[in-house]
Amino acid sequence: MAKVMIIGAGGVGGVVAHKCAQLPEVFTEIVLASRTESKCKVIAAQLPRPVSTAQVDADNVAETVALLKREKPDLVINVALPYQDLAIMDACLEAGVDYLDTANYEPPEEAKFEYKWQWAYQDKFTEAGRMALLGSGFDPGVTNVYTAYLKKHYLDEIHYLDIIDCNAGDHGMPFATNFNPEINIREVTANGRYWQDGHWQETAPLKENRSFDFPAGIGPKQIYLMYHEELESITKHLPEIKRARFWMTFSDNYLKHLEVLGNIGMTSIEPVEFEGKEIIPLQFLKALLPDPASLGPLTKGKTCIGCIAQGVKDGVKKTYYIYNICDHQECYAEVQSQAISYTTGVPAMIGAKMMLEKKWAGAGVWNMEQLDPDPFMDDLNQYGLPWQVVEIDQPTGMEK
């Protein structure tokens, strides 16, 4: 008998609500809260059983505390904006509620992916006897658990880790973004960064790239080295790792559009004087592009996210690849969201289930790889994100 509050009513919030609603034996009561309560009501109307909704400005700690004290949930699932993580953690501490999120805190005005702000809450959560589970999405989240699982069952030591995120879906539009195009641009134009022998190495944007042959009929795609937040926690908690990298697929078409839009100044946030009005080009671009929510029913194809770990077992060098294949159309049929939201929302539900069932417990702030991977991995198979481990004995191109 547990009550959960989901804060955030975007694509991921919808998936979390659907998946929690499917498990009434774990999530007895569900509250959906958002700045815009009407978005919660739209999601609620899709669900197989009644849930309640609430309005909350999660930037306002006092307002969130008041809602938490009124609703008395056992756990908050934070799938709001990453800018709001600290305010919601503060509210949970004050109201005495456990906390879970899917993406680490970013200061509003800079794209800085670092755990330092949330790790600084370690003592507060420990003293309060509360648990905070960080990054319980797919990447970060499942990728951390995959790594812990390989370490527990397949390798005594992991020396080289490559996390590879492939979206082989096609929405049929010439160009559209799954989320804020500015964030996309910043990701793509930022330097890459990876862990090598105890230090971070930087690479020029998109410089490190290669072709990788994905399973399940997806075939070869170009992958690009980027920084991603789970690299920070995994290399901290598995200090034996000599090199850890994160790769993402981008189609040539996608990169072409981002390049041109950047070239003509369309991604700028500097206002332009136009017909007596100040217009921010990026805002106007958003108005031209398809609404990301409209892409769900259009998107076909698969995602493939996984980890390749090279290491040793009983003194012998071994390489394993562990991954999930997710189908956009199957996700949409089940929860009215495509696979990008689905692969983030399902692990949030499972992380919450781990906490409510006390399979994962303990006061303090936790990253996913610090906890026992086995029950989480079982639930991935059971609740929509089945995985497989294959031993690699042929070159994959990821050896160097």
Return residues touching a second copy (CB under 8 A): 174-175, 256-257, 260-261, 263-266, 272-275, 277, 279, 281, 283-285, 287-289
Minimum Å distance from CB 316 to a second copy? 50
Burial class (CB in 10 A: 0-12, 13-18, 19+), 313: middle
Instruction: Provide the minimum distance between the beta carbon of 205 and a second copy in the complex, in angstroms, as a whole number.
Output: 16
Q: Which is nearer to a second copy, 135 or 281 (CB)?
A: 281
Rounded CA gap, 296 and 230, in Å? Answer: 27
Q: Do the beta carbons of residue 233 and residue 115 sit within 8 Å? A: yes
Strands 219-226 and 316-327: unpaired
Measured distance CA(197)–CA(322) in Å, rounded: 24
- Asked whether the beta carbons of 169 and 338 are under 8 A apart, the reply is yes
Minimum CB separation of residue 262 from a second copy in Å reads 8
| Cβ 168 to a second copy shortest distance, Å | 20
Q: CA 87, CA 89: separation in Å to the nearest integer? A: 5
Cβ closest to a second copy, residue 2 vs residue 183: 183
For residue 75, give Cα distances in angstroms to 26, 140, 146, 185, 238: 12, 20, 24, 34, 28
Closer Cβ to a second copy, 260 or 361, answer by number:
260
State both tokens at 384: 């929509």
Least distance to a second copy, CB of residue 298, Å: 16
C-alpha 58/C-alpha 36 separation (Å) is 11
What are 15's two structure tokens? 């998936």
Closer residue to a second copy (CB): 219 or 271? 271
Q: 266 vs 363, which CB is nearer to a second copy?
A: 266
Distance, in Å, from the CA atom of 182 to the CA atom of 382, rounded to the nearest integer, reads 36
Task: Please give the span between the terminal C-alpha atoms of the chain, in angstroms, as a whole number.
Answer: 50
Residue among 128 and 255 whose Cβ is closer to a second copy? 255
The residue assigned the tokens 């879906």 is 169
Nearer to a second copy, 288 or 316 (CB): 288
Closest separation in Å from C-beta 251 to a second copy:
13
Cα of 30 vs its chain's centroid, Å: 22
* Residue (45 or 269) nearer to a second copy, CB: 269
State the minimum distance, in angstroms, from the CB of residue 180 to a second copy.
15
What CA–CA distance (Å, rounded) separates 4 from 7?
10
> Omega before 292 cis (within 30°)?
no
247 DSSP β-pair partners: 164, 225
| Nearest approach, Cβ of residue 303 and a second copy (Å) | 24
* Cβ contact 222:174 at 8 Å: no
Which of residues 63 and 259 has its CB atom nearest to a second copy in the complex? 259
Residue 371 in contact with residue 360, Cβ under 8 Å? yes
CB of 189 to a second copy, least distance (A): 14
Identify the three-state secondary structure at position 170: strand
In the complex with a second copy, the residue whose CB is nearer, 275 or 391, is 275
Tokens of 333: 């049929």
CB of 29 to a second copy, least distance (A): 40
